[in-house]
Amino acid sequence: MADTQNGGGSSPWVAFLAGIFLVALIAVGVVAYNGGLQRQATAQLEINLPDVKLNPPHIDLPPMPAPQSPPTADAPAPAPQTP
């Protein structure tokens, strides 16, 4: 009869993992050789806008109300005014 090995062991798995590691190492080397791992030193942004001169709007605001002091514990609060 033919000799068969039933032990198997872990050598196929070790070879498989070593192959994955080798392919990943080669991929990182190719990316590094092509300059994919270098950082971009500067970035440039150019925006061309037309020159537009606008006059600021003239807004008439009502006068500011006079400041009022808050009520104290000795004096009652002022009654609310109804419009």
Instruction: Assess contact for 62 and 55: CB atoms under 8 A.
Output: no
Rounded Cα–Cα distance for residues 82 and 35 (Å)? 75
pLDDT-derived band at 19, boundaries 50, 70, 90: very high
Q: Quote the pLDDT of residue 73.
A: 73
pLDDT at residue 7 above 80? no
pLDDT at residue 2 above 80? no
Please return the burial class of 14, using the count of CB atoms within 10 Å of its CB with bins 0-12, 13-18 and 19+.
Answer: exposed
Q: Quote the pLDDT of residue 6.
A: 64
Backbone angles phi, psi at 55, to 5 degrees: -80, 140
Q: Which of 17-21, 36-40, 42-46 has the lowest mean pLDDT?
A: 36-40
